Amino acid sequence: MYTNSSLREHSKANVVYYYDNDIAGFEYGNTHDMKPYRIQLAHNAILATGLFDKLEIRRPHRASFKTMTSFHDEDYIRFLDDVNPSNISSYRGHDRYDVTVGGDCPVFDGLYDFCSISCGGSLNSAVVLNTGQADIAINWMGGLHHAKKSKASGFCYTNDIVIAILELLKLHDRVLYVDIDVHHGDGVEEAFLTTDRVMTVSFHHYTGTYFPGTGNSNKVGIGEGKLYSVNVPLKQGITDDQYGSIYKTVMAKVMERYDPSVIVLQCGADSLNGDYLGVFNLSVKGHGECVDFLRSYNKPLMLLGGGGYTPTIVARCWTNETAIAVGVDLPAELPYDILDDHLHADNIDNSFNYEIKKFYRNYNNDKKLGELQTKVLNNLNKLPHVPSVQMQPMPDNNYEELAEMRNAMREEADPDVTLPTILTDQITHHDSDFYDSERAGDDRRNESNAKRANRRSKRLTK
């Protein structure tokens, strides 16, 4: 058996998991590295391992224009709503938004819907944590940490994380954001650079030129936010033991000095060995231990997706971390050959904690890591044990907006045609229900989706 190291006293946490079947149908482009169907692979593996029985699975309410403009510029969100591959050439100066034909952030059909699903899952996660409906909320469709206020960046168009944190701040004095993606969480850090109400902590690869080129350990925040941006830049090839050591030491100090009342953890899977764009030597187990460590503090916890460009590795990673969230162990191997269509192409065996066949050269020596750790800890020790945070007026909660949306959908639905999604999403399902839907276009694991996924080719572009 492949076992997690979870502290089992928290094994009865109430976990709400968000998933929308439409997510796999979006395509950045045949040769683009970002593959939304990776989330469907993870979802199928979560179902096949029986984890759904310990989750409350919900379809998120999609984020409205009002919700997305709680952070993003209104003109930018209108652009995302209007633009499509056929009309982008008519938009003068559209390149100011960094959304183009081709490139890192291409325009594609359904772009606005894709963003509203991602943001909706994270906003809903914040709401259920704020209202006590969940101890842990999961949205693997979120975690798009590079998006800025008025432009796209690094495969990310809207920053669901910032939107979720703004919601959490309506109830919580101090929110902790932690990022274990291989890339620096620049968009989230930038959004909260000047406040002490959000601490951002990012563990990432840094050379000065590796995307996004930010995240030097000297960057610690500005004004009231000084020392509340924590950057832990790492070199190529870091191992489980090295990463786990500095991560747990730094995070223990963060929890001691900052004492957040809620935690948001971005679980980018591109920090695992074997990822198309990654350069670390982390295993599924090592990556999962980062989730396990924060879970052990028994604080309200939001788990989000992020990077991850080898879909079968993403599926393993997020299935394992879903298991950690609910406090159970996974079988040694993937059941039902759930990823067989992709395993051959990725040259990975059928186990969850797959064998690492090619290690990146490790440029992290223990002395340099020790010096980096000391520098980060010294900065954290300059903070008061519990910051004196001044609560500021915030916009009204989204709870009423979500309730109105639910009621409207109930009233408009025609029960003679099919059950409305707002009702079916609140039903507790049996495992067989997740593979065939009463809605023909709502198939969760069908031949058309598999064929669509298999048509996608892979190429490095970033």
Taking Cα atoms as reference points, which of 313, 284, 287, 318 lies closest to residue 303?
318
Q: Which residues contact 433 (CB under 8 A, 6 or more apart)?
A: none
Count Cβ atoms below 10 Å from residue 218 Cβ, excluding itself: 8
Taking Cα atoms as reference points, which of 203, 206, 153, 154 lies closest to residue 177?
203
Whether 2 has a binding-site annotation, put simply, is no
Q: Which residues contact 245 (CB under 8 A, 6 or more apart)?
A: 369
Whether 181 has a binding-site annotation, put simply, is yes
In angstroms, the first-to-last Cα distance of the chain is 37
Q: How far apart are CA 354 and CA 58, in angstroms?
A: 30
Q: How far apart are CA 430 and CA 434, in angstroms?
A: 7
Given the residues 146, 172, 204, 342, select the one marked as catalytic: 146
- In sequence order, what DSSP letters do the residues of 447-459 get, joined into one string? HHHHHHHHT----
Asked about 287 being catalytic, the answer comes back as no
Phi (first) and psi of residue 144, to 5 degrees: -85, 85
Whether 270 has a binding-site annotation, put simply, is yes
3-state secondary structure 35-61: CCHHHHHHHHHHHHCCHHHHCEEECCC
Whether 183 has a binding-site annotation, put simply, is yes
Taking Cα atoms as reference points, which of 136, 115, 106, 131 lies closest to residue 12?
136
- Classify each residue of 157-194 as buried b or exposed e, where b means 16 or more C-beta atoms within 10 Å of its C-beta: bbbbbbbbbbbbbbbbbbbbbbbbbbbbbbbbbbbbbe
Count Cβ atoms below 10 Å from residue 22 Cβ, excluding itself: 17
Q: Which residues contact 403 (CB under 8 A, 6 or more apart)?
A: none
Whether 154 has a binding-site annotation, put simply, is yes
Whether 104 has a binding-site annotation, put simply, is yes
List the binding residues for a divalent metal cation: 181, 183, 270
List the binding residues: 104, 154, 181, 183, 270, 309
By annotation, the residues acting in catalysis are 146
List the binding residues for substrate: 104, 154, 309
